Structures are given as C-alpha cells and as structure tokens.
Structure 1
C-alpha cells in the first residue's frame, strides 16, 4: 500500500481483501479456508526466542505490532524510564505511539496499540530533604 510502504500484507487473489497484516497471521482464517496460507508464504508457526532474565533487567514490555512499527526498543525504554508512576507507564507509551503514528503515517489508520509493562524491581522512594523531615 502506498500509505504504508513498510507494512507487508497478504491479499486474496484478485480482491482488495482481507489485506492481512503479517503480525496478525493467527487471525487469517479466510485465507486458511481457501487453502491459500501455504500458497502465499504464511505460516502459523510463531518465531520464539528465549532470554534469561538477570538482576540488571528492570522491566518487560509485551506489545502489539502497532507499538514496534513506530518506536524502537531504545525509545520505549526511555519513555518507561521517564514515567513518574508505573501505573501510568503503559498509558504514556500508548499516547506517545498514537502521536508518533499521526506524525509518521498521516494518511494511514493507527494500528492496534496494546501494551503490558511488567516491572521487576521496586522503585526506591524519593530522598527526603531536610525541610521535609523538620516540617
């Protein structure tokens, strides 16, 4: 699609639908019903990688492709590290993604943007100043 040059999709032969985005391959039942999955290179076997968590890991981000289409890993880390409260981290990230989508892809619809942020370490409470103690 001209509006989404980096978005790869599978199309039904001679039709403008379903325009299945590759990240949503698990939902492509209409392609499967027509026996087209194999013909068009779509497989349902996920790519799985493993990473051993260490004491240095601070959080884990589970997010849909709409997040990763517009932000890099480093940008996501910076956004989460700058949040004042962890309870708003995912919301802040999605708000940033929506703004970035509107800027980068002005003619396209905003893709699904769902995020779960799992923090491993407790945040240290802010240091109290001398004036806080004497008040």
Structure 2
C-alpha cells in the first residue's frame, strides 16, 4: 500500500509519485484488477475501507458481502456524498461507474442486483482501497 499525506495531488506526475503502479492503473486510468485477485475480497476484521488515493471513507465491513463475482462487494456506502456515479459506456457496455467524490479516482461499478436493504452491489477494486481495521 502506498503512503498518503494530507495534500491532494494536482498533476498526473504527483499522482504517479503517490500511488503504486497498480493503484494508479485502477484509480487514474479506470483499470480493473483480475477477478479473485484483490487483497480485500475476504476481510475477517471489522473496519472501514478508504480511498487509496486520498483516504476518504468509502465502505465498511458491515456493508460487505460475498457476491461471488470476484471483487469486493458492498451493498451501501459509509456516507452519502463520499462516492459519485457516472455513466460508463466503455467496452461496448452501459454500466454505472463509481468514483471517489474527493479525488475522482475510479473505484469500480455499481449494479442493481445486490441484497437488501439497498439492492445495490458496489463492485470495487481492492487496489482502489486501503483498509483501516479496528484494533
């Protein structure tokens, strides 16, 4: 995991210095990690997932579930306004992209096939996240 400070990078060069190669590919170039490869697919500890780019709180282990699709899945966000969504028509598909509202980093996609109470499946790349476990 990369170390993050309080200041937000203002250039591509600063983002490259702050993030690992994998984090950069996901967060800044809208990449996707291979299925079942992410370190946060199965988390046993309680805690919060934050944006690997800026540290914004995004998801909680209380909201995580095993969707069986190969990426960490969540049925809700920690706080409304911490993520934003936008239409993604890449790869000949119509999907809803999920981005960090603070730094604009690509997190993954959200689908309407999740469990109650929201019916949402936030399908998120592990490389876009850091984990802050409760001690």
- The TM tier, using the shorter chain, reads under 0.3
Considering fraction of residues, name the structure with more helix.
Answer: 1
Flag the structure with larger Rg.
Answer: 1
